[in-house]
């Protein structure tokens, strides 16, 4: 059973790597033929440097994926592996787009560092450096609130959930704040029960 699963994973990895090889061949052929042969006027030093640097990044990621496949990792998994494939695909899109439409397409590659910055901020900076408090979220929610954002009841429920309270606990807390005798009676009974346990 385990051998069959390993064989399927190895075959899937081999297929993904073969697709990458074919993709690199097609994309680079299109780019090199169009930019350096058909439209020689597009071949400036800036475009050559951009092409070489982005292609170096894509090839480094391809080598990383090849190594992961040799180590037996599943290349179809989500997470970092999917990001590696996405960066390669965006690079291919930019190379073909630059060859067909012009140098403005290079700006699309800026999506990669922008998205990496967003992930680093939300997954590393907010939880570990800022202690879970996101100042940008407060800023954006202030803008959303002024343009008809969430209702006050929804906002209170969100705050209670953020504080680790269930809906029932939030209701009981609101009743206690209003002075509801039922809640006060429950609290006294809970206190008496804990007092008898201590004895």
What is d(CA 159, CA 150) in angstroms, rounded to the nearest whole number?
12
CA separation for the pair 90, 106 (Å, rounded) = 10
**In the prediction, which pLDDT does 82 show?**
93
Give the pLDDT confidence score for residue 88 in this predicted structure: 97
- Give residue 4's Cα distance to chain centre: 32
Q: Among residues 15, 9, 10, 19, which one has the least CA distance to residue 88?
A: 19
Query: Which residue stretches of the chain have pLDDT < 50?
Result: 149-153, 160
HEC sequence for 2-55: HHHHHHHHHHHHHHHHHHHHHHHHHHHHHHHHHHHHHCHHHCCHHHHHHHHHHH
Looking at residue 164, what is its pLDDT?
63
b/e burial code for range 102-141 (CB count within 10 A of at least 16 → b) = eeebbeebeebeeeeeeeeeeeeebeeeeeeeeeeeeeee
Backbone phi, then psi, for 22, in 5-degree steps? -65, -40
pLDDT computed for residue 33 by the predictor: 92
pLDDT at 27: 96
Side-chain half-sphere exposure of 122, counting CA atoms within 13 A: 7
d(Cα 2, Cα 79) in Å, to the nearest integer?
24
């Amino acid at each position: 059973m385990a051998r069959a699963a390993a064989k399927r994973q190895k075959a899937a990895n081999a297929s993904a790597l073969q697709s990458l090889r074919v993709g690199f061949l097609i994309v680079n052929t299109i780019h090199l033929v169009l930019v350096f042969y058909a439209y020689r006027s597009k071949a400036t030093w800036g475009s050559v440097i951009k092409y070489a640097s982005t292609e170096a990044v894509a090839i480094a990621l391809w080598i990383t994926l090849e190594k992961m496949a040799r180590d037996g990792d599943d290349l179809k998994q989500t997470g970092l592996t999917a990001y590696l494939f996405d960066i390669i695909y965006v690079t291919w899109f930019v190379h073909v787009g630059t060859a067909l439409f012009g140098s403005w397409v290079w700006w699309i590659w800026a999506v990669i560092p922008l998205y990496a910055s967003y992930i680093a901020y939300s997954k590393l900076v907010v939880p570990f450096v800022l202690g879970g408090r996101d100042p940008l979220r407060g800023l954006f929610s202030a803008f959303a609130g002024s343009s008809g954002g969430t209702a006050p009841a929804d906002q209170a429920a969100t705050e209670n959930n953020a504080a680790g309270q269930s809906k029932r606990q939030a209701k009981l807390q609101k009743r206690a704040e209003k002075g509801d005798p039922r809640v006060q009676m429950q609290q006294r009974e809970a206190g008496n029960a804990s007092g008898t346990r201590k004895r």
